[in-house]
Amino acid sequence: MAYGARADTEACARVLEEARGMRAAGKLQDALSRMNACTECPALADVCDRTRASMRDALPTLHVRARACDGTTLEANVSIDGDVAYGVTALDPGRHDVRVQIGARVEEQTVFVAEGEHRNVSLVITDAPRPTPPGVWALTGTAAGALVTAAALFGVSASLPGGPIFGAPAARDAPLVADETRRDLAVAAGVALAVSVTVFATALVVYLTRPFPRTKAPD
């Protein structure tokens, strides 16, 4: 029993030494994993617990975000040292290469984190793409439809007898009817044209002021 206990103590002491060596070499995550695997040594339990707690507290984290020039947080593909990263990422102290990508636009930066540091890094995408809101297409279609209607009404008005297209005189018994019809059509065409211009201007404003894609809130 004593021999077994001594063997456990010696094995745990070796693990403790190895883990401390890993930490000194900057491999804090490996050191913590090594310590977590050693839980069977009553004699060194307090020392191991304190060492584990110290390593957990010393483990740095990095949170990388992409931002637009106006400070808006953007949805982006984030990687740290080539590995995909989501939200707050625990890593070893030292140098790390971070990268954010939105479409074909990429920004990269090298950062250094120390033991116990919890760092936030924002990379600015100066020309981040802004998706076109679906409403822009609906408004543009409405404006185009109103413009076609206006053109058709103007065309019909101009083609009436006495109009500028055919120039045929109206029948003697219906000059007033033709004039009134032509005037009504011209008014309707003018209204349709005004609607077209207004809706198109609205679509243009919506397009020019469209927001940047915001990051999704974490679950």
**5 has pLDDT over 60:** no
Task: Answer whether residue 215 is part of any domain.
Answer: no
* Mean pLDDT over each residue of the chain, to the nearest integer: 80
pLDDT at res. 94:
94
What are the helix and strand counts (H, E) for the chain? Answer: 5, 8
15 lies in some domain: yes
Among 96-110, 127-141, 180-194, the range scoring the smallest mean pLDDT is 127-141
Domain-ending residue, one of 83, 105, 124: 124
Global pTM reads 0.56
Task: Among 58, 78, 103, give the residue marking a domain's end.
Answer: 58
In a domain, 200, yes or no: yes
> Same structural domain for residues 71 and 101?
yes
Looking at residue 74, which CATH number applies to its domain?
Answer: 2.60.40.1120
Give residue for tokens 């009817």: 177
**Count of the separate structural domains present in the chain:** 3
Question: Are 148 and 204 members of one domain?
Answer: yes
Per-residue confidence band for 4, with pLDDT thresholds at 50, 70 and 90: very low
Q: Tell me which residue range forms the domain holding 144.
A: 134-208
Q: What percent of the chain has pLDDT above 90? A: 27
What CA–CA distance (Å, rounded) separates 24 from 4? 30
Q: Is the pLDDT of residue 7 over 60?
A: no
Per cent of the chain over pLDDT 70 is: 79
- How far apart CA 169 and CA 124 sit, in angstroms, is 69
pLDDT in tens, 116-172: 999 999 988 876 666 777 788 888 888 898 888 888 888 877 776 655 544 445 455
Alpha carbon distances (Å) from 215 to 15, 101, 134, 219 = 43, 13, 19, 12
**Residues 50, 85: one domain?**
no
Is 90 exceeded by the pLDDT of residue 91? yes
User: Where among 103, 124, 145 does a domain terminate?
Assistant: 124
Highest mean pLDDT among 42-51, 106-115, 139-148, 188-197: 106-115
Judgement on whether residues 47 and 73 belong to the same structural domain of the protein: no
State residue 41's pLDDT score. 67
Q: Does residue 114 share a domain with residue 67?
A: yes
In a domain, 120, yes or no: yes
pLDDT value, residue 40? 64
**Do the strands 73-74 and 61-67 form a parallel or antiparallel pair, or are they unpaired?**
antiparallel
Q: 112 and 142: one domain?
A: no
Residue 203 lies in a domain: yes
**Mind listing the pLDDT tens digit for each residue in 12-50?**
788 888 999 999 999 999 999 988 877 666 767 788 888
Q: Is the alpha carbon torsion for 56, 58, 59, 64 positive or negative?
A: positive
